[in-house]
């Protein structure tokens, strides 16, 4: 069951870029897509936490969660949608998984974890992979400084989920934390949103993003983490960009060029190679 929940989460996350691009084709801006994603998922988690009567956060933790909501919600959701809009679904999804390299560096600085040879290899492979992607490009894939910048910013802010989770997921349920962080994310995005008239199709796409690809995906991933080691979860979750790339090729005809495809494999391989040894060490 936990493996199914992880695969479900990865599959749902893999649709984010597809739905985001479809929403833009309906006339919405990337930041409005990000805003409604945070509103819908945040509202559901707020209701969820009220039903389950989760304990309230303490004041210092409230402020930390507000900051996380702005960076891990507002900036992350916005930068990912902008990465999809400027570079395509495949590119954005692969660049999102540069997050482990950012985690390796930030964990050393903020959590005083040992950097080590494994993390050095992870960072090196990630840099090589991104360089190959930037040189390779592909069909209907726009690799520019802007698209790379938005994608790497998405990867960096996605990495904050690890640091925040490391500090707070053992103190509170993820439901109660998301119930505060995601509404804050929506408030952070609101001043930058240009609201557009929306058709029924556009609303349907937004529901798919906010309810299925965010609320249910987060819930499935959090439920699986209770039963599986985090390392196994991170490896299985790395299927997300693979699913996104396949869907992008089928729906939009986005295909990474051979050199960029090698770069994508290097980035994803870095995640798998550097986490699998940790698994055996943990089990031992």
Residue 187's pLDDT is what? 98
Whether 99 contacts 158, CB under 8 Å: yes
pLDDT at 121: 85
Query: What tokens does 100 get?
Result: 């482990």
State the DSSP H helix or E strand holding residue 256, giving kind and residue range, or none if neither.
strand 255-256
Nearest to 142 by CA among 212, 92, 191: 92
Q: Give the position of tokens 């919405």.
A: 28
What pLDDT score was predicted for residue 230?
63
Q: What is the pLDDT of residue 284?
A: 41
- Cα–Cα distance measured from residue 182 to residue 179, given in angstroms and rounded to the nearest whole number: 6
Q: Which domain holds residue 195?
A: 2-283
Quick one: pLDDT at residue 279?
47
Nearest alpha-carbon partner for 244 in 40, 45, 39, 96 = 96
pLDDT digit of tens for each residue in the chain (284 aa)?
A: 888 998 999 999 999 999 999 999 999 999 999 999 999 999 999 999 999 998 889 999 999 999 999 999 999 999 999 999 999 999 999 999 898 889 888 888 888 888 888 888 888 989 999 999 988 888 889 899 999 999 999 999 999 988 898 889 889 999 999 999 999 999 999 999 999 999 999 999 999 999 999 999 999 988 887 777 666 676 677 789 989 999 999 999 999 999 999 999 998 888 777 666 544 444 44
Distance CA(8)–CA(73), nearest Å, equals 21
Query: In terms of Cα–Cα distance, which of 258, 246, 205 is closest to 36?
Result: 205
N- to C-terminal Cα distance for the chain? Answer: 24
- Specify the pLDDT at position 239: 85
Overall number of domains in the chain: 1
Quick one: pLDDT at residue 166? 85
Distance, in Å, from the CA atom of 43 to the CA atom of 37, rounded to the nearest integer, reads 10
Q: Are 141 and 255 in contact (CB under 8 A)?
A: yes
């Amino acid at each position: 069951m936990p493996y199914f929940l992880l695969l479900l989460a990865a599959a749902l996350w893999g649709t984010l870029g597809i739905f985001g691009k479809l929403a833009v084709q309906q006339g919405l801006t990337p930041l409005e897509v990000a805003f409604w994603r945070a509103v819908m998922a945040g509202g559901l988690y707020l209701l969820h936490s009220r039903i389950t009567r989760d304990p309230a956060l303490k004041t210092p933790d409230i402020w930390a969660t507000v900051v996380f909501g702005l960076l891990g919600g507002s900036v992350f959701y916005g930068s990912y949608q902008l990465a999809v809009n400027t570079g395509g679904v495949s590119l954005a999804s692969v660049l999102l998984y540069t997050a482990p390299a950012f985690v390796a560096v930030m964990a050393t600085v903020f959590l005083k974890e040992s950097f080590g040879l494994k993390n050095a290899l992870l960072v090196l492979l990630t840099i090589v992979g991104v360089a190959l992607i930037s040189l390779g490009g592909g069909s209907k894939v726009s690799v520019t400084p802007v698209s790379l910048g938005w994608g790497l910013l998405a990867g960096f802010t996605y990495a904050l989920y690890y640091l925040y989770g490391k500090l707070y997921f053992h103190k509170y349920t993820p439901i109660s934390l998301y119930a505060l962080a995601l509404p804050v994310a929506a408030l952070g995005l609101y001043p930058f949103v240009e609201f557009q008239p929306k058709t029924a199709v556009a609303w349907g796409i937004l529901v798919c993003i906010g309810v299925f690809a965010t609320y249910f995906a987060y819930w499935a991933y959090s439920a699986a983490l209770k039963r599986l080691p985090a390392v196994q979860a991170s490896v299985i979750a790395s299927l997300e960009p693979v699913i996104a790339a396949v869907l992008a090729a089928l729906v939009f005809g986005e295909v990474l060029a051979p050199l960029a495809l090698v770069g994508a494999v290097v980035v994803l391989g870095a995640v798998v190679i550097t986490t699998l040894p940790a698994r055996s060490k943990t089990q031992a």
